[in-house]
Amino acid sequence: CRQLFRSPSVPGSVPRPVLKWGQPSDRDNPVKAKRQRRVAGTPGQEASVEPGVWLEPSRSARLEEIENLLANDDQELIGDFSKPHLLPTVEGKDPGLKYISPDTLAAVLTGHFSSFIERSIVVDCRYPYEYEGGHVKGAVNLPLQRDAEQFLLEQPIVPLDASKRVIIIFHCEFSVERGPKMCKFLRERDRSCNEYPQLHYPELYVLKGGYREFFFQFPSHCEPRDYRPMEHAAFKEELRKFRGQSR
C-alpha cells in the first residue's frame, strides 16, 4: 500500500453488483484496471456469487464511486480517489508529484480557494537558518523526516467541515530535492498507517521553483522579506550539521 502520487487504480472489478478485491498487480496499473472495467460483465450476464465476496454496503458504495470517477480518463484524482485535485497543476521534474506555480500558492494564501479549503499547510523543508532568513508567511519549518512525522502524523489535521479540504504544499529552496523528497516520504508513511486507499492527507503539492522563485515573484508574502540561500558563506557549519542529520 505504499504507493506515491501515481496512485493506483481501485481493485479490479467483477460484474456488478458484486465488487471483489483485485490482485495486488491491478493496483499498479490504472490503465489495465480501467480496461478490465470496460469489458467485464456484459448486459444481462449474471454474476456467479460465492459466499463471503460481498462487501459491506458503505464500502461497496465507496468503491463504486471511485470506479465511476476513474472511468473518466480526464480525472486527476487525489490520493484516496475521493475527488479531483483542487489546485491547477504545472509540469515538474518528478512526473509522480503534483506541482503548483508560485501564482497558485499566492492565490491560496490570499483566500481565493477558501470556499473549498479549510486549512492549507505550507511545509518549508529548508534548514532553519534558511527559514529564519526569509520564508512564506505562515509556513512551518520541517527540515527533517522526524519533524514531519511528529507535526503531521502524531495528531493528524482533519477538516472540521467534511465538505472542505486540508492541503499540504511542500517546498525547499528550488523544490528539486528536499521538498519533493519530503512530500514522497509523507505519502509513504501516511499509506503505511491507513487502510488502502484511505489517507490522512490525500492532497499534496510541491511548489515549483521553490522559495527562491516564490520570493522573487511575491516578496510581500514572505517574512522577513528576504532570501537566504542554502550555501550562504556565513552558514557553512550549519549546512554541514543539517546535511549530516538528513542522511
Residues designated catalytic: 172
Q: What is the CA radius of gyration of the chain?
A: 21
Spatial contact of 48 and 31, defined as CB atoms under 8 Å apart: no
Q: Which residues partner with 171 through β-bridges?
A: 124
Report the SS3 class of residue 153: helix
Among 5, 6, 4, 10, CA closest to 197: 10
Spatial contact of 203 and 78, defined as CB atoms under 8 Å apart: yes
**208 exposure class (CB count in 10 Å sphere: 0-12, 13-18, 19+):** buried
Per DSSP, helices labelled H in the chain are: 24-27, 30-39, 57-70, 102-109, 128-132, 145-148, 178-192, 210-217, 236-246
CB neighbourhood size of 52 (10 A)? 5
